Structure 1
Amino acid sequence: MEITTKDVAGITFVSLMGDIKSTTSGEVMDALVGLVKGGSDKLLINLEGVDFISSAGLRSILVAAKLLKNSDGQMKICGANESVRKVLETSGFTSLVALYNDESEALAAFT
């Protein structure tokens, strides 16, 4: 799992590369929760490099999303391929976090 971050104009961009499954979900959760606890209140998660996400992977993102929601922060997800998007939608994840096709579309949705 490769996780890269950059801050631009108050928004933390997080790019994930690799499968998010039981063996990598802890790393993802630690990174995302660390960003939120470190003061990032707007996360844009780019899943272009993710081909697979398991229930453990969903949970790792969900924990950070709930932390953000509780502190009036925002999370947007973009770049999910068809299979990852289907998992996110089927699991009901999209009722908490909106999905966007690309970074520019997700950026425009931040308030």
Structure 2
Amino acid sequence: MQISLKTIDGVVVLSVSGAADSHAAGQLSDALVRCIADGTKKLIVDLSGVHLMTRAGMRGLIVAAMLMDTAQGEMRICGALRSVDAFLRGRGFSYLLTCDASLQASLAELCGGESREAEVPVIPILQAL
């Protein structure tokens, strides 16, 4: 699994690629919790590069959504492949996990309209097998 961060119009975008399974769940959870602990109030988790999601991977998303709610922030998930999206929606946590079809759709929801990419480079924060 690879995880990287970038900021677009004040929204932190955490991009994930690879498998979000039991081997990578801890790293995903740590990255999400670190974003929230750093004071992020608007977070998008881009799952467009995730080809496999298991309950262990989903657990990190649920914990992050609960923490973000407690911190009075907002978290959205975007770009999930059809199988990953169906997995997330089929587990009964749609009240916590808000999924959008694309990054632009999530940005529009969090920014209230058009957004542009900031001059902040993509920073790889975690890389695992």
- Look at both structures and tell me which one has the larger radius of gyration over its CA atoms: 2
Cα deviations by residue, 1:8-64 (Å, 9 ceiling, x for unpaired): 222101100000000100000000000100111111111110011110001011111
Matched-pair identity in %: 35
Query: TM-score, normalised on structure 1?
Result: 0.96
Bigger share in strand = 2
Give runs of ≥4 in structure 1 deviating > 3 Å.
Answer: none
- Which residue number in structure 2 is paired with residue 36 of structure 1? 36
List aligned pairs for 1:1-111, cutoff 5 A.
1-110=1-110
Higher helix share: 1
Give the SS at the match of 2:51. coil
RMSD, matched Cα: 1.0
Number of residue pairs the alignment of both structures matches:
111
Unaligned ranges ≥5, structure 2: 112-129
> How far apart are the structure 2 equivalents of 1:2 and 1:17?
5
- For residues 47 and 19 of structure 1, the distance between their equivalents in structure 2, rounded to whole angstroms, comes to 10
TM-score by length of 2: 0.83
Unaligned runs of 5+ residues in structure 1 are none
Distance 2:97 2:81 in 1: 16
